[in-house]
């Protein structure tokens, strides 16, 4: 009787384990760097003949979607908030990156591309933070400006050592927003699912490249603060530079 009971229990466990297939997941890891170095908030970095540090870096990603080699789309998320301000306080944090994990259906073929936008799409941009529950990233009132009638897509803020004397007395502040600042990306990827059925996609954004303009770096001394669509040059610089600053690793 004991042998019979043991056999039944063993068979039950084996059947249960056979049906316990691990779910498929896609993980997106986003790293912030400056000139190739991990970007830690408040760490000082060279900028032209002086230095700066960042105190706030964050942005919205929207319509995040994977595609496989058969052309099938795998939607991951309508919107996510990438917050380096809180996520990159230490070198360990900055090296680890910001990680998002999504449960997905098993793809019909190898994963081929990752598409997303930086900011929010035009339809979403007709809404306001009050339209969303507190669990939604778009509910943040500090990321909407009524004067723009737009969400704020990106924030880049910090302190600049204007006189190269170690004082870092000049605050710089750049925000982007409005529909013409939204940028879409469709990036080729080459990833495989590991033994846990997880596919990890690593992105990197180099914030020094965000400030490249006319063969040099943007003149922060001349215009250190701009978050107004009335002066689109810095906003267009940041939005357009995403195409070279943002890469798949």
Q: Which pLDDT value is given to residue 231?
A: 79
Q: What is the pLDDT along the chain (249 residues), one digit of tens a residue?
A: 455 454 444 444 454 444 457 899 999 999 999 999 999 999 999 999 999 999 999 999 999 999 999 999 999 999 999 999 999 999 999 999 999 999 999 999 999 999 999 999 999 999 999 999 999 999 999 999 998 899 999 999 999 999 999 999 999 999 999 999 999 999 999 999 999 999 999 999 999 999 999 999 999 999 999 877 677 889 999 999 999 999 999
pLDDT for position 20: 53
Residue 157: per-residue pLDDT: 97
CA distance 56 to 156: 6
Cβ(73)–Cβ(122) below 8 Å: no
Would the CA dihedral through 217, 156, 33, 209 be positive or negative? negative
Q: How far apart are CA 145 and CA 248, in angstroms?
A: 31
Nearest to 61 by CA among 103, 107, 100: 100
Q: What are phi and psi of 179, to 5 degrees?
A: -60, -35
**Hey, is 18 helix, strand or coil?**
helix
Q: How far is CA 77 from CA 81, 88, 104, 216, 234, in A?
A: 11, 23, 11, 36, 29
Q: What would you report as the CA-atom Rg of the chain, rounded to the nearest whole angstrom?
A: 22
β-pairing, 24-34 with 198-206?
parallel
Question: CA-to-CA distance for 135 and 138, rounded, in angstroms?
Answer: 9
Which pTM value belongs to this model? 0.89
**Where do the structural domains in the chain lie, given as residue ranges?**
41-83+105-192+203-248
Give the H or E element holding residue 176: strand 170-177
Give the number of other Cβ atoms within 10 Å of residue 25's Cβ: 16
């Amino acid at each position: 009787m004991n042998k019979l009971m043991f056999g039944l229990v063993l068979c039950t466990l084996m059947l249960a384990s056979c049906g316990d297939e691990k779910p498929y997941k896609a993980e997106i890891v986003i790293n912030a760097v400056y000139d190739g170095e991990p970007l830690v908030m408040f760490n000082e970095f060279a900028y032209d003949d002086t230095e700066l540090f960042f105190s706030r870096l964050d942005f919205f990603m929207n319509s995040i979607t994977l595609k496989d080699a058969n052309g099938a789309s795998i939607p991951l998320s309508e919107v996510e908030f990438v917050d380096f301000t809180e996520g990159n306080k230490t070198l360990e944090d900055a090296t680890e990156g910001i990680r998002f994990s999504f449960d997905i259906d098993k793809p019909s073929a190898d994963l081929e591309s990752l598409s997303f936008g930086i900011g929010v799409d035009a339809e979403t941009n007709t809404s306001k933070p009050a339209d969303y529950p507190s669990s939604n990233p778009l509910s943040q009132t500090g990321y909407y400006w009524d004067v723009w009638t737009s969400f704020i897509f990106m924030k880049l803020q910090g302190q600049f050592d204007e006189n190269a004397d170690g004082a870092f007395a000049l605050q710089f502040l750049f925000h982007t927003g409005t529909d013409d600042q939204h940028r879409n990306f469709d990036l080729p990827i080459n990833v495989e699912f590991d033994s846990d059925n997880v596919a990890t996609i690593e992105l990197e954004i180099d914030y020094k490249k965000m400030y490249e303009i006319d063969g040099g770096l943007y003149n922060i001394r001349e215009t250190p603060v701009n978050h107004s669509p009335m002066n689109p040059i810095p906003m267009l610089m940041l939005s357009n530079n995403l195409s070279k600053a943002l890469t798949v690793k």
